[in-house]
Structure 1
Amino acid sequence: MENLSKRQISPTQSILFSCAAFVIVVAGMRAAQDVLIPFLLAIFIATICNPLVLFLQKKRVPMGVSIFFVFLLMIAFGFGITSLLGTSLKEFSNNFPQYQILLKRYAEDFVSFLENRGVSISGQILLEQFDPGAVMSLTSGILARLGNVLTNTLLIILMVVFMLLEANIYKDKIMKIFGGADERIEQITTFTYTVKRYMLIKTALSLATGILATVWLLILDVNYPFLWGFLTFLLNYIPTIGSNIAAIPPVLMALIQYDLFFMFLVALGYLVINNVIGSFLEPRIMGHGMGISPLIVFVSLIFWGWVFGPIGMILCVPMTTIIKIAFANTEKTQWISTLLESPVRSTFRKEL
């Protein structure tokens, strides 16, 4: 019995056990996504709202009144979005089959145009691999999925309220957990600040992107401008590809509604907006972001999108950062944290 207790697990067994545990945890998260997604959204919203609560408290507004004010803002925002997008979403859903038919016809005409000019191409393969109607189907699916999540609005808002109530004593709880471990407390404080800063900046830039896109679509009189602007706002949270994906539905809508010239104008507008905000302003305001390698950001985008759908893609960077911090605090897993780090992490730390 004593020999069994002293028996150590071999490195191979440790790797196998770790892989098995990883598979079980991921499968569990996928199975429980109906519960976890509202919880993750509540954390996301609470992170954005907490600075407003702190600001009001600094102005000597009682905490209860501050949180109640934020609660009213969330309710007003929800009603505003519902009233603004409800009609557009319903009309888009009703006209969606017709849009698919028109896009398929445009694609077939494009294939015929190429064949008439001597370009040898399999039209069937091209339509299967690059079906423009599939993009609109994806858009409809994302909006439907987000609509399903928003059916838990009351639950999410209640969780946000309780999280805001607990936020002020969060630091005291951390100090009690780690006692005098100043290094751990500093790591968690830095991590909390970094996530909060990332969320606030990303929200402000996404809001600016969505507003500018909406204004541009209103100028060009493209159908459903507020719907596409809201979609742009949401998808801009998705790193690397989100803002580009958001441009595709309104570009195709301009083609359906008008012609190639208006399609080009919409695409040009999105190109300018995405480059000014995404490529110029964001790197200068955000700095080095969350200290995660760009490759890891892209991989985490795919992974969390597979686990939690569109919400996972939106929150992929903060969730990956949490995992990186957790691995960094354990000696045996520090090498994993190092793999996740950005090459400029040390510079980013100095900036903090």
Structure 2
Amino acid sequence: MTAESLSPPARIAIVGAAVVIVLAGIRAAAPLLGPFLVAVFFAMITAPVMTWLTRRGVPPVLAAGTVVVALIGLLVGVLAFLGVAFTGFIRSLPQYQASLEGQAAGLADYGIDPGTFTVWDYIDQGYVIQQVAGLARQVGSITFDIFIVFVGIGFLLLEAPRLTAALARRLGPENSLYRHFSQSGRILIDYVVVRTKVNLITGVGTGLFLTLLGVDFAVLWGFVAFVLSYVPYIGLVAAAIPPTLLAFIEYGPAGAVAVIAAVALIDAAAENLVLPRMAGRELNLSPFVVLFSVILWGLVLGAVGVFLAIPLTIAVKLFLESWEETRWIGEMMGNGGRRE
């Protein structure tokens, strides 16, 4: 029996089953694939720096080492900032607990009778401590994964020219799959640049508003908004929760509503006005595809999948557009935008 002899529904069912099997295999291999995909992502976006250094006479090994050391320095700096900021926040928690219970009691002014309600009665502090302890136990595993990522970045940067040349010889420079592969690095870099610019607007705007409002740790929450905005739609919502609670503690319901409204306006302006003007046609994915990809890759790969959802979806889109039979699926994943 050949593929042509199968009815269209049968072929769709077979392809769907194959996709499910592949995704199940990826999920089972997520502990191994996660660090590898992160290494590939950073190797692709830092490849131009590697090329720039080698063209100026820097030996490839030294150039790759320089890129890796720079990434390590960036990571250490971010972790140091977060460590100092979160330490100050945790030390302030007892003060916030008393203020929060006072604000909850003040809800009677808005027609809400809290009675004997105390917020902390509904928070299982034992569960929170258990989760923190579990995270601390995973530090060793996380450290090992980070080590694997940086080693992988170094080797991928060194091997990239050879791998590209081998693919060119095997597929041919005119092959659509090779052309899409060679374009993927540029498209990924475009995505990172555009997404970072938009996130800067979101993070700086959120931080400035919280500073003007007088919310504690405004710089921290602005930075968290910047980082989590790499997760479309969902990330900024999660980033807005802590400053909203702090605004409620410090200024009551009016402060919380002000934060929610400001973050929503900043996000709407960044995502609907700034992003479409910056993004090229290749980066314009359907909003449904974006949201679905975040959920899908998050279920398959966990936290790595959430942050790499858009790059992975762009890769899938380019892969589908490499063949005439599947090109229509890749085109449907876009939103019909054109490069300006």
Q: TM-score, normalised by structure 2?
A: 0.76
Aligned partners of 2:90, 2:32: CA distance in 1, in Å?
27
Task: Say if 2:192 is the partner of 1:199.
Answer: yes
In structure 1, the residue matched to 2:178 is 185
**Offset, 1:331:** 4.1
Q: Secondary structure at the match of 1:222?
A: coil
Call closer, same or farther: CA 1:272–1:298 in 2, change over 3 Å: closer
In structure 2, the residue matched to 1:326 is 319
In structure 2, the residue matched to 1:338 is 331
**Offset, 1:175:** 0.8
In structure 2, the residue matched to 1:38 is 35
Question: Conserved in 1, the CA contact under 8 Å of 2:44 and 2:185?
Answer: no
Task: Say if 2:117 is the partner of 1:82.
Answer: no
Aligned partners of 1:72, 1:326: CA distance in 2, in Å?
32
Report the more deviating stretch, 152-161 or 290-299.
290-299
Q: Given the alignment, which residue of 284, 292, 314 partners 2:285? A: 292
Call closer, same or farther: CA 1:221–1:195 in 2, change over 3 Å: same
**Offset, 1:281:** 2.7
Q: Secondary structure at the match of 1:181?
A: coil
Q: Given the alignment, which residue of 141, 149, 164 partners 2:157? A: 164
Call closer, same or farther: CA 1:55–1:266 in 2, change over 3 Å: farther
User: Once the two structures are superposed, what CA deviation does each residue of 1:224-277 show, in whole Å capped at 9, x if it has no partner?
Assistant: 445423321221111234334322321212222443454455446535643554
In structure 2, the residue matched to 1:66 is 63
In structure 2, the residue matched to 1:173 is 166
Q: Give structure 2 stretches of 5+ with no counterpart.
A: none
Q: Secondary structure at the match of 1:330?
A: coil
Call closer, same or farther: CA 1:56–1:264 in 2, change over 3 Å: farther
Q: Give structure 1 stretches of 5+ with no counterpart.
A: 117-122
The amino acid of 1:239's aligned partner reads: P
User: Once the two structures are superposed, what CA deviation does each residue of 1:137-162 show, in whole Å capped at 9, x if it has no partner?
Assistant: 8xx99xx69x8684321111111111
Question: Conserved in 1, the CA contact under 8 Å of 2:176 and 2:322?
Answer: no
In structure 1, the residue matched to 2:146 is 153
Q: Given the alignment, which residue of 180, 205, 223 partners 1:230? A: 223
Q: TM-score, normalised by structure 1?
A: 0.74
Q: Secondary structure at the match of 2:230?
A: coil
Aligned partners of 2:17, 2:210: CA distance in 1, in Å?
49
User: Once the two structures are superposed, what CA deviation does each residue of 1:98-134 show, in whole Å capped at 9, x if it has no partner?
Assistant: 9689768856865883467xxxxxx9xxx9xxx999x
In structure 2, the residue matched to 1:55 is 52
User: Once the two structures are superposed, what CA deviation does each residue of 1:193-240 show, in whole Å capped at 9, x if it has no partner?
Assistant: 212211222134324543454455455553444542332122111123
Q: Given the alignment, which residue of 244, 247, 250 partners 1:254? A: 247
RMSD across aligned C-alpha pairs, in angstroms? 3.9
The amino acid of 1:24's aligned partner reads: I
